[in-house]
Amino acid sequence: MLRSTGQSVPEAQPEAGFYEHVEQGYDRLARSYDDEIGTNEIGLRMRDVFRKALMSVLRPGDFVFEIGCGTGLEALWLARQGLEVMATDISGEMLAQLSEKSRAEGLSERVRTRRLAAREIGALGRDFGQES
């Protein structure tokens, strides 16, 4: 609701095919994502800050959702810290990379995946409880 006019803000609708385009783009990027994006100096610095903030409030055994997990750089790190992770992404190929890595590291019990677009996260509330 806009205070100045009292009118509702119309809900933005993406162009037809937008989410399919996003999914396809990330599917294509999945195999090279860690090398091309995961090693970016700025991304590494941001990841370090993010991880410190998370671990100041999370403890081993806690359950977390990661929305838009990509290849699982954070999901795997969280699992290594002893957390249980439900990792979601729109890209099936990104999730395949994460699943492969979690099996290789013996973390499959701590990392679960679901193909889900960020706009669909309400489904997690239905499955895990609204307080999640």
- In angstroms, rounded to a whole number, what is the distance separating the alpha carbons of residues 60 and 79? 9
Q: Are 86 and 65 contacting, i.e. CB atoms less than 8 angstroms apart?
A: yes
pLDDT of amino acid 1: 45
* Position 77 confidence tier, pLDDT thresholds 50, 70, 90: very high
Helix (H, G, I), strand (E, B), or coil: what is residue 5?
coil
Per-residue pLDDT tens digits for 86-100: 999 999 999 999 999
Per-residue pLDDT tens digits for 100-128: 999 999 999 999 999 999 889 888 888 88
* Position 44 confidence tier, pLDDT thresholds 50, 70, 90: very high
Residue of 106, 72, 101 whose CA lies nearest to 88: 72
Q: List residues bridging with 84 in a β-sheet.
A: 63
